[in-house]
Chains A and B, each alone.
Chain A
């Protein structure tokens, strides 16, 4: 066609068009296969393979758990069918009070996490407040501290008897009674909420970064001040991000173990998780019973997911990365920017620096006590030395890094596929697929681990006791989170950008690699980093699935906690924080280099 008549004048091109096209493909046109065979192509096969993988990963443990709730023993034994577990679990009245407490707790802590995280995200992404890298770094810290550690540090700060903050406030303000009590409902909400500001921060930051400024400009020009603009324009458009984050926070709040165990029990506040905790105390552990609680979680989560998908239907409304003139701009705060930075730093100091300080302090002490000048004299590096002498530390670190990175990569790729199916295709059952992939979030980690133990001791797939079972477990557990992140990221890419590629080039692989991937890479990196960090912190999976030689850092930390080596635990926590900070820092650097270049 054109190429053959390289130097031909335009006129010859006209001639070649109409007739050529017909002659080229001639009378045979296309063979007439039934639609579904014609539809089979490498990309289609890959897609179905993806669906199969995800369904396998998530449904098999789920089915195992549900099956387990109707029997009275582990598989492989002569367990008989029974409803006893359900009667046991849901028969008591206190359960409804616990359930209610859980919901209130989840809502309150979710609101706290979201508000703080969103505010800080706005400060770092849309304003010209100074010292942003510092703020960004500090926000990561609570996310990076192992849960046990941060919860304990809050106790050391806000305990009515020994809490440092209480002592400071009483001393400076001359109060009769210490004002803060961690062992209350609000104390629990605070400790958990403030420890989870990172995910809302990440997601809202990504949303802010991708915002089309003309939308805001339109509002400003029509007379809306910055606050009203924020409310009517920014918030509305970022609805799917907001909803996704709140949903996740809510589910987190419902299923967390640490806060209810470490603070709730002392406070006499029973959450749903407390019931599970108590149910698991009898020996031999009755996992069948625990599974029935998982079923309740599942019901709640699925409702939440259904709502989410309904709200984000009609992806076009939320498009923010278009191919158009695209320059998200910073809002000039004028003299207010110093106040904003100060406020952010103040919040972060209370939320992050103080607990970290307690942890760091303790890591240099032979045993914990309230910081004082006297104690300073006892400072020692022994705890760190002891950690570095632990062979387990090196092995666990390497293992955690390998499993974490592998699981993160697999999870992000799989969830990208699912998100893509959900947003870009009309395949029937895609809502169901999303829900299935999301369902593991409803299972308490311990129950998931146990089901995998059952599965892989039963099936002839020999991964029990290796790193692979850990990777499988992490992927299963974290696909829900990376799915929501990828979903939100993909929503923000205008589908015409992909369609243009579809038209221009027949190779779906090329289109995926050179067009879609670069646009979605920042979101992928966020998801990857998040999953990786979670594997560094998650205890529920390795506690049952780690075996000889496959120990992970969280098990080590938990071991230190259980054997009461608190200062060493803190030293380990500091080291872990530094490790993850290094990962986060380099990923952020990478993300900035790779993300869509903005103007100005």
Chain B
């Protein structure tokens, strides 16, 4: 058994390691040979200003620009809420956005960049896929006082997390009591869970979590067993899984987003979530474009999202703000981020680990016919 503090140190250091890895990756492109882009140079120029001056400069510039373009992974309603709040503070900036999954957004960004088109200002993605893209080519190195509010292990030169979340085990609270719950992934192999676990196919971070914690051999072996166990029922979409848990389709869902569960729970649905050992933690990197078409407005939006006001907006939607000073309506998740069972570093060392686990996931779990 590890003591809490030792564990949290371990977890924090892992987060640091991960952040370091990301930073290293981001910086790889920023080796001495890379010159500063215009946008980056511009931001560097702002660094000396006082907070008030900075704000004034940005506001004046943004008034002339009038627009900002945001690529985000948020859903329709959260996007609208956030943008409305931003517009209230800066009514002269019209915020346009594109939504999508992290992978889609990064695909779009890289494709547009390759064609020499600079169409976005700010992007919010997810660490699930982040490290597989040439981020140094498309995201700017950006320093801002707003960033300092975010814990160091949740930011780097080219990004900063807006909120954090973990992926946890969801369950139907009417069908299962907390004491019945499996505690570790290996518990999921138990035959009493036959056909009772809803499993989402896009679970690469989960696989990488196992890989990181247990090592390659054990992880691959386990995944094979899990696929052969007949306990899993593949269902698409974590949020759908949450809804299905609430409806009683099955007692357990792997994995779900705590904020989803909390949202339903508050409306009276019989769902809840718990951590399982180990679980992946994810960050939501917010970045500015390396060649932003509206650099002033971009900075305004970016800073806003990390500011107390912006973070509060997310908090109201059950997300756990990355800024520890901002209260969260989901304190359990915030606490979970420090839990030793959470693994933030899911990169597993870039490259072959990821490819291999994805293959294993596809072969052993997704392509298997369910038993019985």
Contacts and interface: CB of A to CB of B under 8 A. Distances in A.
Which of A265, A283, A546, A555 has the largest number of chain B CB atoms within 10 A? A283
Interface residues on B, range: 35 or more
Contacts of B100: 543
Contacts of B54: none
Interface string A454-482: 10011000001100000000000000000
Contact of B247 (A278, A369, A560): A369
Contacts of B233: 183, 266
A267 B27 CA distance: 44
B329 interface: no
Contacts, number: 153
A564 B241 CA distance: 9
Given A285-B107, A368-B246, A548 B97 contact: yes
A460 to B, nearest CB: 11
Given A266-B233, A270-B367, A282 B243 contact: no
A392 B80 contact: yes
Nearest to A457: B115
A366 B98 contact: no
A267 B372 CA distance: 11
B75 A564 contact: yes
A509 to B, nearest CB: 42
B369 A268 contact: yes
A323 B368 CA distance: 61
Contact of A369 (B103, B115, B246, B369): B246
Contacts of A389: 80
Interface string B107-139: 110111011010100000000010011000000
Contact of B268 (A152, A366, A370, A458): A366
A366 B243 contact: no
A3 interface: no
Contacts of A278: 362, 366
B367 A457 contact: no
A457 B96 contact: no
Nearest to A456: B115
B244 interface: yes
B233 to A, nearest CB: 6
A564 B260 contact: yes
B80 A284 contact: no
B111 A457 contact: yes
A195 B264 CA distance: 30
Interface residues of A, number: 59
Contacts of A262: 236
B366 A549 contact: no
A284 B96 contact: no
B179 interface: no
Contacts of B194: none
Interface in B90-106: 96-101, 103-104, 106
B326 to A, nearest CB: 22
B234 interface: yes
Interface string B343-363: 000000000000100100010
A367 B240 contact: no
A366 B75 contact: no
A562 B237 contact: yes
Given A548-B98, A565-B75, A457 B132 contact: no
Interface of A: 74, 76-77, 94, 152, 156, 159, 161-162, 183, 261-262, 265-270, 278, 281-285, 366-370, 378, 386, 389-392, 453-454, 457-458, 464-465, 543-544, 546-549, 551, 555-556, 559-566, 568
In the A-B complex, the 9 residue pairs with the smallest Cβ-Cβ separation, listed nearest first, are A564-B239, A563-B75, A548-B96, A457-B115, A268-B369, A366-B267, A283-B129, A266-B234, A559-B76
Interface of B: 69, 74-80, 96-101, 103-104, 106-108, 110-112, 114-115, 117, 119, 129, 132-133, 201-202, 233-240, 242-244, 246-250, 257, 260, 264, 267-269, 355, 358, 362, 366-370
22 contacts: A74-B114, A161-B250, A261-B236, A266-B234, A266-B235, A266-B370, A268-B368, A269-B369, A281-B362, A283-B103, A283-B129, A284-B110, A285-B107, A367-B269, A370-B247, A392-B79, A392-B80, A453-B111, A465-B119, A559-B76, A560-B75, A568-B76
